[in-house]
Chains A and B, each alone.
Chain A
Amino acid sequence: MELSGAKILIESLKQEGVEYIFGVNGGAAMPIFDALYDHPDVKLIMMRHEQGASHAADGYARATGKVGVTLATSGPGATNLVTGIATAYMDSIPMVAITGQVFTHLMGNDAFQECDVIGVTRPVCKHSYLIKSGDEVAEVIAEAFHIASTGRPGPVVVDFAKDAQIHESLFRYPEKVNIRSYKPKVEGHPRQIAKAVELIHNAERPILYAGGGVTLSDASEELRELAIKTGIPITVTLMGLGAFPETHPLAMEMPGMHGSCCANYAFTDSDLVVAIGARFDDRVTGDLTKFAPNAKKIHIDIDASCIGKNVPIDVPIVGDAKRVLAEMNKLVHRVDIEPWMRQINEWKAQYPFEYEQNGDNIMPQYVIEQIYDLYSDAIVVGDVGQHQMWAAQYFKFTEPRQWLNSGGLGTMGFSLPAAIGAQLGCPDKTVVNINGDGSYIMTIQELVPAISMKLPLKIFIINNMYLGMVRQWQELFHQKRYAAVDYHDNPDFAQLADAFGATGIRVDRIEDVRPALEKAKAINDGPVVIDFIVDEEENVFPMVPAGAGLGDVIRGLA
């Protein structure tokens, strides 16, 4: 039977097991939305801005491990997706972003709502396709899903000309995808693995350094086995939090700019760093010349171009973390590093994450502690800024995919739409959105679909009336010249939530923090927004200033 390109697209998505598409309608994508109109299996989630749509698809992918799908029209619809595509690209999130495109005969003519989407998105996606004819659709979609979800995952853009959406052709979905130029290497080289194991067995001060790649390759079981079998202490990056339980005695918590002193000192003093699905990001390493200067380095990564990019590597292992760790686990045994562990435990005891109470103010860290106490099993979606760091420090994550945040691109406004995607992907889980006052207002419009769908999101705003992280840098490095960070003119977020149709609660006294969080727990017929009015000038510590070495961490201002 012949189907229109738009209908072939939907049938293809069904073949890929797509449950939800997050989108915003518009002229050049109308045939696709029309094909979705009465389709029983693929549900369209009507977001209020394309950026929100892309983050929602991303949040869905992060929470479930499946490919997120977002859909927008040509021109401005497509350009609004770009931030979300770049966010997914930086964190290697599997996503397929579909954009309508003007009729092929109009392309290149500066047509209404025309934009060269392939050109605009080229540097921020894993791959892209332009569909100019209906008979290309099935094959392109099969390839797009294959590329998005295999190797180092990432977003794939599919730009779909309107005439190709209308044009009818025969629908036949490819049974297998075979791209001769794309064969990700998943098995680690046995000789490299043997070399790595030998280094591990001979190290005196080894550490494991795991990143988001462990979660992406579903390797947290294997990671746990490696750490526990060898007895080597482990630090997990912002992107990997939960891949190893932070409550475990071997856990040193997050490394880097706002990481634990223990993890940063351990890097500096170590004689072996085993990096697994982590990319030696500048926020982790600090000054490269002072980074783990005495350590040999093993790097396991599926993306060969990540290895040796920032830091010279002694034993590179290109492969899928799950497979490589499983092979390593067959060979490793417990290492005798008792003096090193004594040192690690001393650092841990001496330098825990801590803060001082300032008068009667609600301390932001206290709010996070209370959230953790009441919602320890929840999926937590963080935004970007000080609250993100406090959440990473004070919430103890124990499961992979429990902590979702924009780690690489650092996209403010990510979290509310991402929480919507996560909640739809995991309907039986409680989803907590920890947001900032600056980031919340960037995508606040996405409260609307959350309310329409009665999603029981717990939206907790750590409101210090500033772009807090920038203000902190201004305080420390710009003589307190608070340029363009004062957000005291923001609206009352609790009243605004009520106006949208959600439940809004404003909390400005310490004693109301816990009761409000408990109340939120009982509201399950829609989102609840709690606006926590916190200490305005609290800073995130510890802090490794930009350009300093990890050993030069500032523990606090006092």
Chain B
Amino acid sequence: MAEERHIFSVLVENRFGVLARIAGLFSGRGFNIDSLNVAETDDPGVSHMTIVTHGDAQIIEQIYKHLNKLIDVIKVIDLTVENHVERELVLIKVYAEPQRRGEILQIVEIFRAHTVDVGPDSLIIEVTGDEGKLKAVVDLLRPYGIRELARTGKIAIMRGAPR
């Protein structure tokens, strides 16, 4: 069976040990997590997780069912099959000697990214977007020398009226 990438949106009780239960579900069965983001929702008692994973149809179905089976999980949506918005934020510390700064700042502007810190020979750039945009920016900055890179992992929600 062909492998597919899926994005799960998971609402969980904001409680001790929940993250470990989710992580254990994946590690115990040999399922993969490509990225995982977790933070409080508007309701401090509930956290939202965005889990990006991949596998064949049978594995994806098992992941969906096992997530639902966890006692602390309130709701699971496979966003891949829904109309949704996904975003990721990346911070890139890139070498920027004074004579090359102009070129880098142009890239920042074109992609509507932000410069959030300036050092004597480096810049920190913040980019938000979907996977394609982030890849384009990182690829363009790589020749200048990336010193550090940190990304949030994907967050995603469904379009349209609230459930």
Contacts and interface: CB of A to CB of B under 8 A. Distances in A.
Q: By CB atoms of chain A within 10 A, which of B17, B20, B58, B71 has the most?
A: B71
Contacts of A308: 58, 61
A268 to B, nearest CB: 23
A464 to B, nearest CB: 36
A122 B21 contact: yes
B24 A181 contact: no
Contacts of B65: 304-305
A122 B24 contact: yes
A181 B66 CA distance: 13
Contact of A180 (B16, B17, B74): B74
Given A118-B17, A305-B65, A309-B62, A123 B71 contact: no
B163 interface: no
Interface string A281-314: 0000000000000000000000111001100000
Interface string A109-152: 00000000011001100111010000000000000000100000
Contacts of A484: none
A558 interface: no
B62 A181 contact: no
A182 interface: yes
A349 interface: no
Contacts of A147: 71
Contacts of A303: 69
Nearest to B24: A122
Contacts of B13: 181
Nearest to A126: B71
Nearest to B58: A308
Contact of A122 (B12, B20, B66, B74): B20
Contacts of B16: 130
A179 interface: yes
Interface string A336-375: 0000000000000000000000000000000000000000
Contacts of A126: 71
Contacts of B20: 119, 122
B88 interface: no
A179 B71 contact: yes
Given A122-B20, A130-B17, A181 B73 contact: yes
B122 interface: no
A187 B30 CA distance: 32
Given A123-B24, A304-B65, A181 B72 contact: yes
B52 to A, nearest CB: 21
Nearest to A306: B65
Contact of B74 (A118, A181, A305): A181
B35 to A, nearest CB: 22
Interface in B66-123: 66, 68-69, 71-74
A308 B17 CA distance: 29
Contacts of A179: 71
Contacts of B68: 304-305
Nearest to B27: A123
Interface string A310-350: 00000000000000000000000000000000000000000
Contacts of A309: 62
A305 B73 CA distance: 15
Contact of B28 (A118, A123, A130, A180): A123
Contact of B69 (A119, A128, A130, A305): A305
Contacts of B28: 123
A320 to B, nearest CB: 16
A179 B71 CA distance: 9
A208 to B, nearest CB: 24
A304 B68 CA distance: 9
Contacts of B58: 308
A331 B73 CA distance: 36
B70 to A, nearest CB: 8
A123 B27 CA distance: 10
A182 B61 contact: no
B28 to A, nearest CB: 5
A147 B66 CA distance: 16
Contacts of B73: 181
A123 B21 CA distance: 8
Interface string B48-72: 0000000000100110011011011
Nearest to B63: A305
A304 B69 contact: yes
Contacts of B61: 308
A128 B72 CA distance: 10
Interface string B8-28: 000011001100110010001
A126 B71 CA distance: 8
Contacts of A305: 62, 65-66, 68-69
Given A305-B62, A305-B65, A308-B61, A181 B21 contact: no
A127 B72 CA distance: 9
A308 B60 CA distance: 12
Contacts of A122: 17, 20-21, 24
A304 B76 CA distance: 14
Nearest to B74: A181
Given A123-B28, A305-B69, 17 more contacts: A122-B17, A122-B20, A122-B24, A123-B24, A130-B17, A179-B71, A180-B74, A181-B12, A181-B72, A303-B69, A304-B65, A304-B69, A305-B62, A305-B65, A305-B66, A308-B58, A308-B61
6 tightest Cβ-Cβ pairs between the two chains A and B: A305-B65, A181-B74, A127-B71, A304-B65, A123-B28, A182-B71
29 contacts: A119-B20, A122-B17, A122-B20, A122-B21, A122-B24, A123-B24, A123-B28, A127-B71, A128-B17, A130-B16, A130-B17, A147-B71, A180-B74, A181-B12, A181-B13, A181-B71, A181-B72, A181-B73, A181-B74, A182-B71, A303-B69, A304-B65, A304-B68, A304-B69, A305-B65, A305-B66, A305-B68, A305-B69, A308-B61
Interface of A: 118-119, 122-123, 126-128, 130, 147, 179-182, 303-305, 308-309
